[in-house]
Structure 1
Amino acid sequence: MIDPPALPPGITVFERGWLSSNNILLTGRDSTALVDSGYCTHAAQTVALTSQALQGRALDRLLNTHLHSDHCGGNAALQQRHPALQTLIPPGQAAFVADWDPQALTYTPTGQQCPRFRFDALLRPGTGVELGDRLWQIHAAPGHDPNAVVLFEPESGVLISADALWENGFGVVFPELEGVGAFDEVAATLDLIESLDPLVVIPGHGRVFSHVAESLGLARRRLQSFVRDPRKHANHAARVLLKFKLLELQRIRYADFSQWAGSTRYFEMVHARYFPEVEPQAWLAQLMQDLVRAGAAARDGEFVLNA
């Protein structure tokens, strides 16, 4: 396995498990900033990791690449810990945050949690933001999330790619699940990343990497497989949502897990749009068998376990 590349001074990555996004701490002479805050059940750990790394300094800024629960679930805890914290979010869902609409923010439809937080400013694509003594470009990165942004620092060649590009793929294309075509936007975002020509990528999940061309090629092949067979993507997305809940709960009775899935709108929506010919409980049972076969879940009598 290739060791992850070295990062410039002042950039620290807390690589988290897949329930929480990675956190990127940027420290400069006069200011500090954190990009993405993980899931709410890990909020205390996010605060502790950040405080330990800051060594007594205050956290000045908090930025969210997008507003999925695994990227902003620690916002509220960090705002409580650092009362003067300035929080910046992409503009697309600012009104929903201001009014706090967990339905529109997709927390309720996906069966996930996110404590209410405030924001102070917007990350407008086409502009820049100074973080850790460096000026970072803000680029729109729709696809996985229509309002997502990525951050690029051209002097060092470092890209904070969020869920637009991972070492081995990219995040679920959520608009597609709602019947809104977004595979073309994924392709355009991958083209954008290629045009930026980053030397190092800090993804939303997984380790930092530098073999960008290889990862882009893998992502494009994966995207084409979804374009050819959208049901493949839909099944993948449903498994991801189930796995995410298992990562949160760790252990749950199968009957309760089945009831949770049946009452979660995204499962109902995906089933109705892509698999109406399959009885819902039979579809869920097949998804669970797929997770067990892949080693991502386990069965223990009446319980299902994260694995």
Structure 2
Amino acid sequence: MPIVDPRTGEPLTGEPATQEAPATADNSQGAELIIDVGRDNIQQILEFSMQVPVLLDCWAPWCEPCKNLMPILEKLTIEYQGAFILAKLNIDDNQEIAAQLGVRSVPDVKLISQGGLVDHFQGALPEKQIREWLERYFPAPEDAPASLEDQAAEALEAGDPTTARTLYEELVQQNPEHIPYQVALARALVAQGNAAEARTLLDNLPPEDRDAPAARGVRASIEFGEEAPSHEELAALSERDDSEAHFKRALRRVADGDYEAGLEALLGLMKRDRAYGDDAARKTLLRVFDALGADHPLTVTYRRKLFALLY
């Protein structure tokens, strides 16, 4: 099968280009940007890498992670519009080539330029990580869409858990072994009001991930929703100024996602009545920190305020 230069549309000869080629190719040239490689054309691919970098995707038909990774690589190849081509090597059909390339497990993605190996990664990395890897070597396209991961996080932050759930479900399907996506999906489910479904998802995680900080944080969010008074109960407390009323109002704010107001109310209760509920305000502050995560700006700010109050 002849190899076509995606920038010029001319058959590749293996000789150095005699004139400067266009920097990009039209998206309609996806057929030239993505090719299958084997014994008949591997040498042409190596020669082609003298002119245009080649992303070599080593895969196998029995490899589920390979099947999840390949559509992401194809999408990014077209998006980068000729900055590199994607060559797909079925290692089952080309065992000798795979051995020469040092492929020991799949998926194995190798970046080849000037006939030599520049870098590689193994495993079905999430799209965002692949983008970051590519950006070490190629400028990101100016009109590149946000990754699904960024879109999902933005939807959740904007108060659109339904969209966030849909996107995280797609990410989990693409990357079934990437635990952070499953935890993020559980968080979107909680925001959507599906706490029971979120708890089931967390319960099915591997033990080491089930009790990790990220999963504990989502569990804490579920528990706040269960512990907080209903809005009807809250209305009945509106005239009360005792510690119990302040604590329950703080819980409701946290459960509703108004974390800053809830944290401020809990800190105020500590100043007012440290002994209430066997130090319930301080213990709840720590649980909110757990729910938000150690790097969240509110966690950083209110840990500092808690430390100042205690010491």
Considering the TM-score relative to the shorter chain, is it more than 0.5?
no
Q: TM-score, normalised by structure 1?
A: 0.28
Larger radius of gyration: 2
Q: TM-score, normalised by structure 2?
A: 0.28
